[in-house]
Structure 1
Amino acid sequence: MKKLVLLILGFILGALAMYFYCCKEEPINITDPTPPKGLIKPAEIKTLTQAYDPRYQAINNAIFEGDEGGDNRSSWYALEDLENFLTLAKIQAGDLGYTMDGIRIYPGAHSAIDKTPGYSTFLIVPTGYRNSSEGSMMFFQKGGGGKDIDGGNGLNRGEDGDPPGANYPQ
Protein backbone atom coordinates (compact mmCIF):
# COMPACT_ATOMS: atom_id res chain seq x y z
CA MET A 1 0.00 0.00 0.00
CA LYS A 2 2.87 2.32 0.87
CA LYS A 3 4.42 1.71 -2.57
CA LEU A 4 1.10 2.48 -4.30
CA VAL A 5 0.79 5.83 -2.49
CA LEU A 6 4.39 6.71 -3.46
CA LEU A 7 3.67 5.70 -7.07
CA ILE A 8 0.55 7.90 -7.25
CA LEU A 9 2.40 10.78 -5.56
CA GLY A 10 5.22 10.37 -8.10
CA PHE A 11 2.75 10.54 -11.00
CA ILE A 12 1.14 13.68 -9.56
CA LEU A 13 4.50 15.39 -8.96
CA GLY A 14 5.66 14.36 -12.44
CA ALA A 15 2.48 15.71 -14.03
CA LEU A 16 2.84 19.02 -12.16
CA ALA A 17 6.48 19.31 -13.16
CA MET A 18 5.61 18.65 -16.80
CA TYR A 19 2.77 21.18 -16.64
CA PHE A 20 5.03 23.94 -15.35
CA TYR A 21 7.84 22.95 -17.71
CA CYS A 22 5.80 22.56 -20.91
CA CYS A 23 3.06 25.09 -20.40
CA LYS A 24 5.18 27.93 -19.10
CA GLU A 25 4.69 30.99 -21.32
CA GLU A 26 7.90 32.28 -22.76
CA PRO A 27 8.43 35.99 -22.26
CA ILE A 28 7.93 37.98 -25.45
CA ASN A 29 11.34 38.88 -26.79
CA ILE A 30 10.91 42.24 -28.47
CA THR A 31 13.91 43.53 -30.32
CA ASP A 32 14.23 46.89 -31.96
CA PRO A 33 13.70 46.70 -35.71
CA THR A 34 16.57 47.57 -38.00
CA PRO A 35 16.14 51.15 -39.21
CA PRO A 36 15.45 51.23 -42.95
CA LYS A 37 17.83 52.87 -45.40
CA GLY A 38 16.80 56.48 -45.91
CA LEU A 39 15.28 57.06 -42.47
CA ILE A 40 15.36 60.80 -41.85
CA LYS A 41 14.64 63.11 -38.92
CA PRO A 42 11.80 65.66 -38.88
CA ALA A 43 14.24 68.55 -39.42
CA GLU A 44 15.36 67.00 -42.72
CA ILE A 45 11.73 66.41 -43.73
CA LYS A 46 11.12 70.15 -43.21
CA THR A 47 14.21 71.05 -45.25
CA LEU A 48 13.22 68.77 -48.13
CA THR A 49 9.58 69.88 -48.24
CA GLN A 50 10.60 73.55 -48.07
CA ALA A 51 13.05 72.96 -50.93
CA TYR A 52 10.03 71.79 -52.94
CA ASP A 53 8.24 75.14 -52.37
CA PRO A 54 9.42 76.83 -55.63
CA ARG A 55 8.22 73.83 -57.71
CA TYR A 56 4.93 73.73 -55.86
CA GLN A 57 4.41 77.47 -56.38
CA ALA A 58 5.22 77.19 -60.11
CA ILE A 59 2.73 74.34 -60.57
CA ASN A 60 0.14 75.93 -58.34
CA ASN A 61 0.39 79.37 -60.01
CA ALA A 62 0.29 77.90 -63.52
CA ILE A 63 -2.58 75.45 -63.04
CA PHE A 64 -4.57 76.58 -60.01
CA GLU A 65 -4.40 80.34 -60.56
CA GLY A 66 -7.55 81.88 -59.12
CA ASP A 67 -8.71 78.67 -57.43
CA GLU A 68 -9.01 78.81 -53.68
CA GLY A 69 -6.84 76.42 -51.69
CA GLY A 70 -4.38 75.41 -54.37
CA ASP A 71 -3.10 71.99 -55.29
CA ASN A 72 -2.32 69.03 -53.03
CA ARG A 73 1.13 68.74 -51.49
CA SER A 74 0.54 65.41 -49.77
CA SER A 75 -1.60 62.29 -49.66
CA TRP A 76 -2.56 60.41 -46.51
CA TYR A 77 -3.15 56.64 -46.53
CA ALA A 78 -4.56 54.61 -43.65
CA LEU A 79 -2.07 52.13 -42.18
CA GLU A 80 -4.56 49.28 -42.65
CA ASP A 81 -4.97 50.19 -46.35
CA LEU A 82 -1.20 50.19 -46.86
CA GLU A 83 -0.75 46.86 -45.07
CA ASN A 84 -3.59 45.28 -47.05
CA PHE A 85 -2.23 46.70 -50.31
CA LEU A 86 1.24 45.28 -49.64
CA THR A 87 -0.20 41.86 -48.81
CA LEU A 88 -2.40 41.81 -51.93
CA ALA A 89 0.43 43.15 -54.11
CA LYS A 90 2.78 40.36 -52.95
CA ILE A 91 0.14 37.75 -53.76
CA GLN A 92 -0.61 39.30 -57.14
CA ALA A 93 3.11 39.58 -57.95
CA GLY A 94 3.50 35.86 -57.31
CA ASP A 95 0.47 35.09 -59.48
CA LEU A 96 2.00 37.19 -62.29
CA GLY A 97 5.35 35.39 -62.00
CA TYR A 98 7.23 38.10 -60.08
CA THR A 99 8.87 38.47 -56.70
CA MET A 100 7.91 41.82 -55.20
CA ASP A 101 10.90 43.75 -53.87
CA GLY A 102 9.47 47.18 -53.12
CA ILE A 103 7.17 49.95 -54.25
CA ARG A 104 7.56 52.99 -56.46
CA ILE A 105 5.62 56.21 -55.82
CA TYR A 106 4.50 58.22 -58.84
CA PRO A 107 2.97 61.69 -58.79
CA GLY A 108 -0.30 61.90 -60.69
CA ALA A 109 -3.33 64.16 -61.03
CA HIS A 110 -7.05 63.53 -60.98
CA SER A 111 -9.13 64.62 -63.96
CA ALA A 112 -10.43 68.19 -64.05
CA ILE A 113 -14.00 68.71 -62.91
CA ASP A 114 -15.75 71.49 -64.83
CA LYS A 115 -13.19 74.32 -64.88
CA THR A 116 -11.40 73.21 -61.70
CA PRO A 117 -8.16 71.30 -62.27
CA GLY A 118 -7.84 67.94 -60.54
CA TYR A 119 -5.76 67.72 -57.40
CA SER A 120 -2.36 66.07 -57.44
CA THR A 121 -2.17 62.59 -56.00
CA PHE A 122 0.48 59.97 -55.39
CA LEU A 123 0.24 56.47 -56.82
CA ILE A 124 1.89 53.49 -55.16
CA VAL A 125 2.98 50.77 -57.58
CA PRO A 126 4.59 47.41 -56.71
CA THR A 127 8.03 46.64 -58.11
CA GLY A 128 9.88 43.39 -58.45
CA TYR A 129 11.72 41.01 -60.70
CA ARG A 130 10.45 38.18 -62.85
CA ASN A 131 10.87 34.73 -61.33
CA SER A 132 13.08 32.43 -63.35
CA SER A 133 14.22 28.88 -62.93
CA GLU A 134 17.72 29.72 -64.10
CA GLY A 135 20.35 31.69 -62.19
CA SER A 136 19.86 35.42 -62.55
CA MET A 137 21.72 38.54 -61.53
CA MET A 138 18.48 40.57 -61.47
CA PHE A 139 18.36 40.43 -57.69
CA PHE A 140 21.75 42.10 -57.47
CA GLN A 141 20.99 44.99 -59.78
CA LYS A 142 21.99 48.51 -58.78
CA GLY A 143 19.63 51.44 -58.65
CA GLY A 144 16.05 51.87 -57.59
CA GLY A 145 15.07 48.27 -57.12
CA GLY A 146 13.07 46.13 -59.48
CA LYS A 147 10.95 47.20 -62.40
CA ASP A 148 7.27 48.02 -62.10
CA ILE A 149 5.34 44.75 -62.07
CA ASP A 150 3.61 44.50 -65.42
CA GLY A 151 -0.10 44.01 -64.79
CA GLY A 152 0.17 44.72 -61.05
CA ASN A 153 -2.48 46.88 -59.37
CA GLY A 154 -1.48 50.19 -57.79
CA LEU A 155 -2.85 52.14 -54.83
CA ASN A 156 -4.47 55.58 -55.08
CA ARG A 157 -7.24 57.44 -53.30
CA GLY A 158 -5.16 58.79 -50.46
CA GLU A 159 -6.75 61.62 -48.50
CA ASP A 160 -5.87 65.17 -49.53
CA GLY A 161 -3.72 67.35 -47.33
CA ASP A 162 -5.51 69.52 -44.79
CA PRO A 163 -5.59 72.12 -46.28
CA PRO A 164 -4.45 70.75 -49.64
CA GLY A 165 -1.54 73.20 -49.95
CA ALA A 166 -0.26 72.69 -46.38
CA ASN A 167 3.44 71.92 -46.03
CA TYR A 168 5.03 69.60 -43.45
CA PRO A 169 4.08 69.25 -40.63
CA GLN A 170 0.27 69.15 -40.91
Structure 2
Amino acid sequence: MKKLVLLILGFILGALAMYFYFHNDKNEESMDETPVPSGIIKPAEIKTLTEAYDPRYEAINDSVFKGVEGGDNRSSWYSLEDLQNFLTLAEKQATDLGYTMNGVRIYPGAHPQIDGVPGYSTFLLVPTGYENQSEGSMVSALVGGNGDIIGGNGLNQGEEGDPPGINYPQ
Protein backbone atom coordinates (compact mmCIF):
# COMPACT_ATOMS: atom_id res chain seq x y z
CA MET A 1 0.00 0.00 0.00
CA LYS A 2 2.91 2.32 0.80
CA LYS A 3 4.41 1.77 -2.66
CA LEU A 4 1.06 2.51 -4.31
CA VAL A 5 0.77 5.74 -2.38
CA LEU A 6 4.32 6.70 -3.39
CA LEU A 7 3.57 5.82 -7.01
CA ILE A 8 0.39 7.86 -7.05
CA LEU A 9 2.07 10.73 -5.20
CA GLY A 10 4.92 10.76 -7.70
CA PHE A 11 2.56 10.62 -10.63
CA ILE A 12 0.27 13.38 -9.35
CA LEU A 13 3.06 15.67 -8.20
CA GLY A 14 4.94 15.16 -11.47
CA ALA A 15 1.82 15.88 -13.49
CA LEU A 16 1.04 18.94 -11.36
CA ALA A 17 4.57 20.27 -11.65
CA MET A 18 4.52 19.82 -15.41
CA TYR A 19 1.09 21.42 -15.73
CA PHE A 20 1.93 24.49 -13.67
CA TYR A 21 5.30 24.94 -15.26
CA PHE A 22 4.01 24.64 -18.82
CA HIS A 23 0.94 26.77 -18.22
CA ASN A 24 2.72 29.61 -16.50
CA ASP A 25 2.51 32.63 -18.87
CA LYS A 26 6.13 33.63 -18.39
CA ASN A 27 7.32 30.09 -19.19
CA GLU A 28 5.15 29.37 -22.23
CA GLU A 29 7.86 30.61 -24.61
CA SER A 30 10.63 28.60 -22.94
CA MET A 31 8.95 25.17 -22.80
CA ASP A 32 11.82 23.60 -24.73
CA GLU A 33 14.17 24.55 -21.88
CA THR A 34 11.99 23.01 -19.16
CA PRO A 35 13.94 20.63 -16.92
CA VAL A 36 12.37 17.20 -16.49
CA PRO A 37 11.22 16.76 -12.87
CA SER A 38 12.59 13.81 -10.94
CA GLY A 39 10.12 10.98 -10.66
CA ILE A 40 8.75 11.16 -14.21
CA ILE A 41 8.13 7.64 -15.44
CA LYS A 42 7.15 6.25 -18.81
CA PRO A 43 3.80 4.51 -19.47
CA ALA A 44 5.49 1.08 -19.45
CA GLU A 45 6.77 1.77 -15.92
CA ILE A 46 3.33 2.92 -14.82
CA LYS A 47 1.88 -0.33 -16.14
CA THR A 48 4.56 -2.40 -14.34
CA LEU A 49 3.98 -0.63 -11.03
CA THR A 50 0.20 -0.83 -11.19
CA GLU A 51 0.35 -4.51 -12.12
CA ALA A 52 2.65 -5.11 -9.13
CA TYR A 53 -0.21 -3.78 -7.00
CA ASP A 54 -2.59 -6.48 -8.32
CA PRO A 55 -2.02 -8.98 -5.44
CA ARG A 56 -2.79 -6.30 -2.85
CA TYR A 57 -5.86 -5.17 -4.73
CA GLU A 58 -7.08 -8.77 -4.97
CA ALA A 59 -6.46 -9.27 -1.23
CA ILE A 60 -8.60 -6.21 -0.45
CA ASN A 61 -11.36 -7.39 -2.76
CA ASP A 62 -11.27 -10.96 -1.45
CA SER A 63 -11.59 -9.81 2.17
CA VAL A 64 -13.39 -6.45 2.34
CA PHE A 65 -15.38 -6.50 -0.92
CA LYS A 66 -16.29 -10.18 -1.02
CA GLY A 67 -19.67 -10.47 -2.74
CA VAL A 68 -19.79 -6.78 -3.74
CA GLU A 69 -20.17 -6.28 -7.47
CA GLY A 70 -17.32 -4.35 -9.09
CA GLY A 71 -14.86 -4.55 -6.21
CA ASP A 72 -12.90 -1.72 -4.67
CA ASN A 73 -11.71 1.43 -6.35
CA ARG A 74 -8.21 1.37 -7.87
CA SER A 75 -7.79 5.01 -8.73
CA SER A 76 -9.01 8.53 -8.05
CA TRP A 77 -9.33 11.18 -10.75
CA TYR A 78 -9.12 14.91 -10.02
CA SER A 79 -9.67 17.64 -12.60
CA LEU A 80 -6.80 20.01 -13.31
CA GLU A 81 -9.03 22.89 -12.27
CA ASP A 82 -9.77 21.29 -8.88
CA LEU A 83 -6.08 20.50 -8.32
CA GLN A 84 -4.98 24.00 -9.28
CA ASN A 85 -7.64 25.61 -7.09
CA PHE A 86 -6.78 23.29 -4.20
CA LEU A 87 -3.09 24.17 -4.41
CA THR A 88 -3.85 27.89 -4.58
CA LEU A 89 -6.22 27.74 -1.60
CA ALA A 90 -3.93 25.42 0.38
CA GLU A 91 -0.96 27.73 -0.13
CA LYS A 92 -2.98 30.74 1.05
CA GLN A 93 -4.33 28.80 4.04
CA ALA A 94 -0.80 27.63 4.90
CA THR A 95 0.40 31.23 4.94
CA ASP A 96 -2.56 32.25 7.10
CA LEU A 97 -1.72 29.40 9.52
CA GLY A 98 1.95 30.49 9.72
CA TYR A 99 3.41 27.82 7.42
CA THR A 100 5.30 27.72 4.15
CA MET A 101 3.72 25.08 1.93
CA ASN A 102 6.26 22.95 0.08
CA GLY A 103 4.30 19.97 -1.18
CA VAL A 104 1.35 17.64 -0.94
CA ARG A 105 1.10 14.29 0.85
CA ILE A 106 -1.32 11.68 -0.45
CA TYR A 107 -3.04 9.45 2.08
CA PRO A 108 -5.09 6.40 1.20
CA GLY A 109 -8.55 6.43 2.75
CA ALA A 110 -11.94 4.78 2.42
CA HIS A 111 -15.46 6.11 2.41
CA PRO A 112 -17.68 4.86 5.25
CA GLN A 113 -19.67 1.66 4.97
CA ILE A 114 -23.32 2.24 4.01
CA ASP A 115 -26.00 -0.41 4.54
CA GLY A 116 -23.38 -3.13 4.94
CA VAL A 117 -21.59 -2.21 1.68
CA PRO A 118 -17.98 -1.10 2.14
CA GLY A 119 -17.09 2.34 0.79
CA TYR A 120 -14.65 2.74 -2.08
CA SER A 121 -11.01 3.50 -1.45
CA THR A 122 -10.01 7.08 -2.08
CA PHE A 123 -6.88 9.20 -1.94
CA LEU A 124 -6.70 12.35 0.17
CA LEU A 125 -4.39 15.21 -0.73
CA VAL A 126 -3.01 17.06 2.29
CA PRO A 127 -0.74 20.13 2.12
CA THR A 128 2.71 19.84 3.67
CA GLY A 129 5.26 22.40 4.69
CA TYR A 130 7.07 23.89 7.62
CA GLU A 131 6.16 26.38 10.28
CA ASN A 132 7.49 29.90 9.71
CA GLN A 133 9.95 31.25 12.26
CA SER A 134 10.79 34.86 12.98
CA GLU A 135 13.90 36.12 11.17
CA GLY A 136 15.70 36.76 14.44
CA SER A 137 15.14 33.22 15.69
CA MET A 138 18.23 31.14 16.38
CA VAL A 139 16.49 28.10 14.90
CA SER A 140 15.33 29.81 11.70
CA ALA A 141 18.25 28.30 9.80
CA LEU A 142 17.24 24.83 10.99
CA VAL A 143 13.58 25.10 9.97
CA GLY A 144 12.34 22.92 7.17
CA GLY A 145 10.63 19.65 6.61
CA ASN A 146 7.61 18.22 4.93
CA GLY A 147 5.20 17.77 7.78
CA ASP A 148 1.46 17.99 7.32
CA ILE A 149 0.21 21.53 7.79
CA ILE A 150 -1.75 21.30 11.02
CA GLY A 151 -5.22 22.78 10.52
CA GLY A 152 -4.87 22.81 6.71
CA ASN A 153 -7.74 21.54 4.56
CA GLY A 154 -7.26 18.51 2.34
CA LEU A 155 -8.77 17.47 -0.98
CA ASN A 156 -10.99 14.41 -1.53
CA GLN A 157 -13.87 13.51 -3.80
CA GLY A 158 -11.81 12.37 -6.74
CA GLU A 159 -13.85 10.30 -9.17
CA GLU A 160 -13.34 6.55 -9.16
CA GLY A 161 -12.22 4.54 -12.15
CA ASP A 162 -14.74 3.35 -14.71
CA PRO A 163 -15.31 0.61 -13.73
CA PRO A 164 -13.77 1.12 -10.28
CA GLY A 165 -11.52 -1.95 -10.40
CA ILE A 166 -9.93 -1.30 -13.78
CA ASN A 167 -6.14 -1.07 -13.90
CA TYR A 168 -3.91 1.34 -15.86
CA PRO A 169 -4.50 2.49 -18.53
CA GLN A 170 -8.15 3.50 -18.36
Residue 29 in 1 paired to residue 29 in 2? yes
Report the Cα distance in structure 2 between the residues aligned to 1:82 and 1:71, rounded to whole angstroms.
24
Equivalent residue number for residue 57 of structure 2 = 56
For residue 31 of structure 1, report the CA deviation from its aligned partner. 2.8
Question: Scaled by the length of structure 1, what TM-score is found?
Answer: 0.78
Deviations 1:9-28 (A, max 9, x none): xxxxxxxxxxxxxxxxxxx7
Equivalent residue number for residue 131 of structure 1 = 132
For residue 80 of structure 1, report the CA deviation from its aligned partner. 0.1
Find the residue that maps to 1:31 and give its secondary structure: helix
Write the letter of the residue equivalent to 2:169.
Answer: P
Root-mean-square deviation (CA), in Å?
1.1
% identical equivalent positions: 70
Equivalent residue number for residue 78 of structure 2 = 77
For residue 36 of structure 1, report the CA deviation from its aligned partner. 1.4
Equivalent residue number for residue 163 of structure 1 = 163
For residue 89 of structure 1, report the CA deviation from its aligned partner. 0.3
Q: Which runs of structure 1 show a deviation greater than 6 angstroms over 4 or more consecutive aligned residues? A: none
For residue 58 of structure 1, report the CA deviation from its aligned partner. 0.4
Task: Pick the structure with more helix per residue.
Answer: 2
Deviations 1:106-145 (A, max 9, x none): 0000001101100000000000000001222233xxxxx5
The higher radius of gyration belongs to 1
Q: How does 1:88-99 map to 2 (within 5 A)?
A: 88-99=89-100
The number of aligned residues is 138
Equivalent residue number for residue 104 of structure 2 = 103
Equivalent residue number for residue 148 of structure 2 = 148
Find the residue that maps to 1:103 and give its secondary structure: strand
Check conservation: 2:133, 2:143, Cα contact below 8 A.
no
For residue 37 of structure 1, report the CA deviation from its aligned partner. 1.4
For residue 30 of structure 1, report the CA deviation from its aligned partner. 2.6
